[in-house]
Amino acid sequence: MTVIDANRMNEIEARYPEYFHRSFRQRFGGLMILIATLLYSLYAVWFFDLPKLFAEAHWERVGIYLSQWVSYDVQPEFRIQDNGSIEVRYPRFSPLGDNPHPDWLVDNPDGSITVSISGVSRTVTVSKSQTIVTAHGISVPVKVTSGALEVVGPVPGWMTVYDDNVLADLGFAGNVSISVARVKIRKRFIGWANFIFDTQSFFFDKPAGEVVSLIVSGPRIKPDQSNLSLAFDDIWNNSEWQHGDVWTKLFQTIVMAFLGTLLGSLAAFPLAFLAARNITPNRLLNQILKRFFDFLRSVDMLIWALFLTRAFGPGPLAGSGAIFLTETGTLGKLYSEGLENIDNKPREGIQSTGAQTVLVHRYGIMPQIVPVIVSQTLYQWESNVRGATIIGAVGAGGIGLKLWEAMRTNANWENVAYMVILILIVVFIFDAASNALRHRLMGTKAH
């Protein structure tokens, strides 16, 4: 056991003062950061009034919108005629087509009509004198008496009675709106209606086997066009899902991202050499170019897109220009910082041989900076595919504008889901492709 006397202890303290005489910041820095974070969190809760925000939020809309992403509804309307007959109407652009005869709508011998909302557990029977709604194990008749509605028996919690209307909420399966002369039903189905063929197509509502048989060996539907070509035209020009327009706009988005990133990297590359202090020893020029990069980066891509849309009109040119300006600033800063952090020894060694400046840059600088350039450029390209979607919403072209149009109607959420899934697939593909290309160019193994 070693015994340390007072003199030896003083000598160790003098040699390593950072361990024995810690500053206030070193001793209490972590605690101060924790307290500051807690105080800031409390301030944010107060400033944004988060309790009130969460209490007044319409959380029920989340479920509604999500259900509309993966489903569609059919809305038959039953009108009671003066002679007691019941007329069935569908909206103009019904997913069932112009003359639907669904199997879930049954004409009864007594003249009434029964609609199966969800199997036999949730049904609606409409007659001239009353409407019977069956759900949650009970049947509730709603009678029409002297031009007014009357609910027979106790009103269940899933039914709401107004002065001239009775609304029955049947959950995800749909709902029923009952008035004196009209009963409107909303029946929901899982899936995307008419995703392949719309109601105007000859192939609409035909079984898959029959469609394949017609395409492969069936007689020509149009004498001047093969069935395969006709089927492709019907899919591409689907009036409800607009596959052709969506895919064209998606391709525009990809081209916008590629072109803007390519032009930005080409512009940023030579400017970065002039902005790097160790490459171009001109302080004024260095600072001017660095502030220029800061200016281009500080104006968001969305703002550039708004300016260019006003200048050139809506379209992919404005989107490509916005990406070009933003990437010139971003990549210029990244390239110049990479140049300033290179090892100067290889460069000085080549300079000592009397080589020209171009050769010094080629063999003394480029081998060190290429990995940074490749990595950052590919990452920005991948990121700009997402960014091009956003700026498209302000008129810069691409699928972003298409997505915004679908969201603005607040009724085409299944189309929104379709485009969001396409965007996600493209981002995943570009992420994998950029990673593979980056590892290939840099000579490393992908993990």
Asked whether residue 173 falls in the same domain as residue 263, the answer is no
* Rounded average pLDDT over 282-307: 90
Asked if residue 264 and residue 179 are part of one domain, the reply reads no
What integer pLDDT is reported at residue 4 of this predicted model?
Answer: 64
Mean pLDDT for 426-434 is 85
pLDDT digits (tens, 9 = 90+) for 99-113: 788 889 999 988 899
- Let me know: does 247 contact 335? Beta carbons within 8 Å: no
Mean local confidence (pLDDT), 163-177 = 90
Judge contact between 323 and 257, C-beta under 8 A.
yes
What sign has the CA pseudo-torsion 431, 437, 441, 447? positive
Query: In the predicted model, is pLDDT for residue 310 greater than 90?
Result: no
Does 170 share its domain with 250?
A: no
> Is the pLDDT confidence value at 6 over 80?
no
Residue 10 belongs to a domain: no
How many Cβ atoms from other residues are within 10 Å of residue 243's Cβ?
A: 16
Specify if 237 maps to a domain: no
Given a cut of 80, whether residue 196 has pLDDT beyond it is yes
Q: Report if residue 98 sits inside a domain.
A: yes
How far is the C-alpha of 124 from the C-alpha of 162, rounded, in Å? 19
Structurally, the chain folds into a number of domains equal to 2
Let me know if residue 41 belongs to a domain: no
Per-residue confidence (pLDDT) for residue 163, from 0 to 100: 84
For residue 262, being part of any structural domain is answered with yes
Q: What average pLDDT does the chain have?
A: 86
Instruction: Kindly report the CATH number assigned to the domain that includes residue 424.
Output: 1.10.3720.10
193 φ, ψ (degrees, to nearest 5) = -70, 135
Q: Is residue 280, in this structure, part of any structural domain at all?
A: yes
Q: Kindly state the helix (H) or strand (E) to which residue 424 belongs, with its residue range.
A: helix 413-442
Q: Kindly give the residue spans of alpha helices, DSSP state H, lying in 103-240.
A: 208-217, 227-236
Q: Is the pLDDT of residue 332 over 90?
A: yes
Q: What is the arithmetic mean of pLDDT over 332-361?
A: 81
What pLDDT is recorded for position 101? 83
Cα separation values, 18 from 5, 10, 332, 382, Å: 21, 14, 40, 46
Least confident stretch, 11-25, 124-138, 206-220, 301-315: 11-25
Tell whether 274 and 160 lie within a shared domain.
no
Domain identity same for 131 and 257: no
CA dihedral angle for residue 248, residue 253, residue 254, residue 260, rounded to 10 degrees: 140
Per-residue pLDDT band for 13 (boundaries 50, 70, 90) equals low
In angstroms, rounded to a whole number, what is the distance separating the alpha carbons of residues 96 and 107? 18
Domain, as residue range, for 128: 73-190
- 171 in the same domain as 294: no
- 166 touches 149 (CB < 8 A): yes
Residue 172 DSSP class: G
Highest mean pLDDT, choosing among 26-35, 71-80, 424-433:
71-80
Residues 6+ apart with CB under 8 A from 403: 389, 392, 393, 416, 419, 420, 423
Q: Same domain for 181 and 287?
A: no
Q: Tell me the Ramachandran region of residue 423: left when phi exceeds 0, alpha when psi lies from -120 to 50, beta otherwise.
A: alpha
pLDDT at 411: 73
| Residue pLDDT, tens place only, 218-266 | 888 888 889 999 999 999 999 889 999 999 999 999 999 999 999 999 9
Q: Is 60 exceeded by the pLDDT of residue 1?
A: no
- Short-list 281, 266, 257, 273, CA closest to 335: 273
User: What confidence tens digit (pLDDT) does each residue in 33-78 have?
Assistant: 999 999 999 999 999 888 888 888 888 778 778 888 889 989 999 9
- Say if residue 264 is in the same domain as residue 386: yes
Long-range pairs for 51-59: beta carbons < 8 A, 24 or more residues apart: none
Q: Write down the pTM of the prediction.
A: 0.79
Choosing from 173, 190, 207, the residue where a domain stops is 190
Q: Is the dihedral of CA 420, 426, 430, 431 positive or negative?
A: positive
- Does 330 reside within a domain? yes
Q: Partners of 168 in the beta sheet?
A: 159, 176
Q: Which residue has the higher pLDDT, 398 or 168?
A: 168
Q: Domain end: 129, 157, 190, which one?
A: 190
Looking up tokens 């189309």, which residue turns up?
415
Residue 387: predicted pLDDT: 85
Q: What is the pLDDT of residue 404?
A: 86
pLDDT score of 367 more than 90: no
The residue with tokens 């929901």 is 188
Give the pLDDT confidence score for residue 268 in this predicted structure.
Answer: 93
Evaluate whether 198 touches 81 at the Cβ level (below 8 Å).
Answer: no
Confidence of residue 16 (pLDDT cuts 50, 70, 90): low
Q: Is residue 223 part of a domain?
A: no
* Side chain identity, residue 171: G
Q: What does the alpha-carbon distance between residue 139 and residue 405 come to, in Å, rounded to a whole number? A: 42
Number of Cβ atoms within 10 Å of the Cβ of 17:
10
H or E element: which one contains 375?
A: helix 366-391
Confidence at 271, pLDDT banded by 50, 70, 90: very high
